[in-house]
Amino acid sequence: MTFRAIHWGKNNLRPAPVLPGRLVLITLGLAMFFQAGCTQPQRQAESKPVRVHSDMVTLWPLCQEAIKERGFQIYYRNFNQGILETYPLISKQWFEPWHSDVVDGRSLLESSMHTLQRQVTLEIIRVDDQQHELKCRVDVERISLTEDFTSNLVRARDMLSNSNMQLIKDPDDLSDIKQWVPLGNDAALEEAILRSISSKL
């Protein structure tokens, strides 16, 4: 048996090597293909309320600070009822280490495979003048296309161009072709926020 050496000339095409980074992207893409739309509600047990020894005047700004440190923006404040609510925030993905709204590996994997958003609701319950209970709820939602996908695509095509054939620049104009599906709560982030508040005291 004889072996013939293969010489690569100028006109030969050398196959491109498969880099580790490319393998990661291919694997992630396949995982997203097979699992898209199949994420089940997390149904995690809600975090237990935490009792802190502090007056409301001291506690109120610390709670807001702990929420903002996670990247959330507060849109509703009610001092008398002790309620803070945030805007929904698109969740951190694996290539965004500077964000801190995802605190465990499983949640990071899910938010890297799907477009998720989180919203925080914090409730401060008065026990007495120097004691309060903190309850935190983090709701998680996943973006999903509506059922009538084909007709929505037609409407989207019509929306993307007017008589002057100019693209619409505001992505919110396409909000009718997507919806947010509730997935449950993020108990890990709830506990992390409560621990952060307690540590500030």
Per-residue pLDDT at 11? 52
On whether residue 11 sits in a domain, the answer given is: no
Range of 55's domain? 50-200
**Under 8 Å CB-to-CB from 64, ≥6 apart: which residues?**
74, 77, 84
Please tell me the total count of domains within the chain: 1
Per-residue pLDDT at 176? 54
On whether residue 41 sits in a domain, the answer given is: no
On whether residue 10 sits in a domain, the answer given is: no
pLDDT digits (tens, 9 = 90+) for 74-131: 999 999 999 999 999 999 999 988 988 999 999 999 999 989 999 999 999 999 888 9
On whether residue 16 sits in a domain, the answer given is: no
On whether residue 31 sits in a domain, the answer given is: no
**Whole-number CA gyration radius for the chain:** 24
On whether residue 18 sits in a domain, the answer given is: no
Model-wide pTM > 0.85: no
DSSP state of 100: -
On whether residue 23 sits in a domain, the answer given is: no
pLDDT digits (tens, 9 = 90+) for 129-165: 889 999 999 999 999 865 544 444 545 455 454 444 3
pLDDT digits (tens, 9 = 90+) for 59-69: 999 999 999 99
Task: Using alpha carbons only, give the angle 43, 44, 50 rounded to the nearest 5 degrees.
Answer: 140
Three-state secondary structure along 136-186?
EEEEEEEEEECCCHHHHHHHHHHHCCCCCCCCCCCHHHHHHHEEEEEEEEC
Q: What is the mean pLDDT of residues 27-54?
A: 63
